[in-house]
Amino acid sequence: MEELLSLQGLETQFKTQEGIVHAVNGVSLNINESETLGIVGESGCGKSVTVMSMLRLISIPPGKIVAGQAMFLGEDLLKMSDEEIRCVRGAQIGMVFQDPMTFFNPVLTIGRQVIEPLEAHSGTRPQEAYDQAAEMLTLVGIPNPKDCLRDYPHQFSGGMRQRAMIAMALICRPKLLIADEPTTALDVTIQAQIVELVLRLRDELGMAIIWITHDLGIIAGLAQRVAVMYAGYMIEEAPVKELYAHPQHPYTIGLLGSLPRLDETGHRRLVSIEGLPPVLMEKPTYCPFVPRCKYVVEHCQHENPTLTAITFDHKVACWVDTETGRER
């Protein structure tokens, strides 16, 4: 598979009244064509800011991209003009946001909003655009699509709005779909339907997916690779089966320990990670997980580890081998 996107050394900061918030700190990742990458971590770790920075969707000011590059099909998204990046967003990279009720314009019909990317990027005539929109609504499982195109967002249920947003993100047949916690506000049954829908569309359309979530359970059945973020840093990356079977970073171990398991016999108390994430008013010079980590050695308190390969396809940013308790 060919590489579709390569993000290298991305750093994003926000200027606030209290000082500079170091939201994303040197994040690097890549995704190949037709691959699904999951990005996981607790709220505030920088998952959404990473992809919003890549697509140049953060407000400047107060936000500022201070370093890095995002190579997409040979072009650096961070160096494109406003006009050039607008031609990429929606056409080649689709985006599904967290809350469709706040994303959709309440005074425009679903049809008007779903066809907007087509009109903006391909100059499709209105009737042809409506026909394609109806076809896409059918593809995402919305019944009576031609009638639904005349409805307003408040007439849709939460699951239908999410499906309509996916239809809008995919109507130009993008090469990459970015889904930013798209199932957070939905009940478990609808979550499963949305995940199944995205998997089916991935196979039918051959697109790559970046799925952002704090739910490792969803990622298990969706992604091929997982990247774990903490405090604006990428701290572990591995294929799904490898990460779930052999987590190496103490934070990843804590996340997996907090999940109920169906493959275990007897009762097991769920693990919680003590403490709170750091406030990133200063870029840490030591491992940011130190205050919450039970594997700490002296080295952890003086230098922040970089993401390093420990096997062919498994990378971790930790000074300690958590399986032996010894420093690497």
Instruction: Summarize pLDDT for 291-304 with one digit per residue, the tens.
Output: 888 888 888 888 88
Written as six digits, the tokens of 26 are 């040197």
Q: Indicate the angle between helix axes 158-170 and 126-139, nearest 10 degrees.
A: 120
* pLDDT averaged over every residue in the chain: 83
Q: What percent of the chain has pLDDT over 70?
A: 94
Sign of CA dihedral 273, 188, 57, 101: negative
What is the predicted pLDDT for the residue at 234?
A: 92
Written as six digits, the tokens of 118 are 């087509």
What is the predicted pLDDT for the residue at 48?
A: 87
Confidence band of 260 (pLDDT split at 50, 70, 90): low
Q: Which of 74-78, 177-181, 269-273 has the lowest mean pLDDT?
A: 269-273
For 267, other C-beta atoms within 10 Å of its C-beta total 5
Q: Where are the alpha helices (DSSP H) in 181-245?
A: 188-205, 216-220, 240-245
Q: Indicate the angle between helix axes 158-170 and 188-205, nearest 10 degrees.
A: 20
Half-sphere exposure (CA, 13 Å, Cβ side) for 265? 0
What is the average per-residue pLDDT within 142-148? 83
Write the burial class of residue 275 (CB in 10 Å: 0-12 exposed, 13-18 middle, 19+ buried). exposed
Higher pLDDT, 274 or 263: 274
What is the average per-residue pLDDT within 206-219? 85
Residue of 322, 185, 201, 193 lying closest to 257 (CA atoms) = 322
Q: Is 228 in contact with 252 (CB distance < 8 Å)?
A: yes
Sign of CA dihedral 127, 120, 163, 4: positive
Confidence band of 101 (pLDDT split at 50, 70, 90): low
Q: Do the strands 3-16 and 63-72 form a parallel or antiparallel pair, or are they unpaired?
A: antiparallel
What is the average per-residue pLDDT within 6-18? 89
The DSSP output letter for 297 is -
pTM: 0.87
What is the average per-residue pLDDT within 256-279? 70
For 286, other C-beta atoms within 10 Å of its C-beta total 15
Give yes or no for residue 85 having a pLDDT over 80. Answer: yes
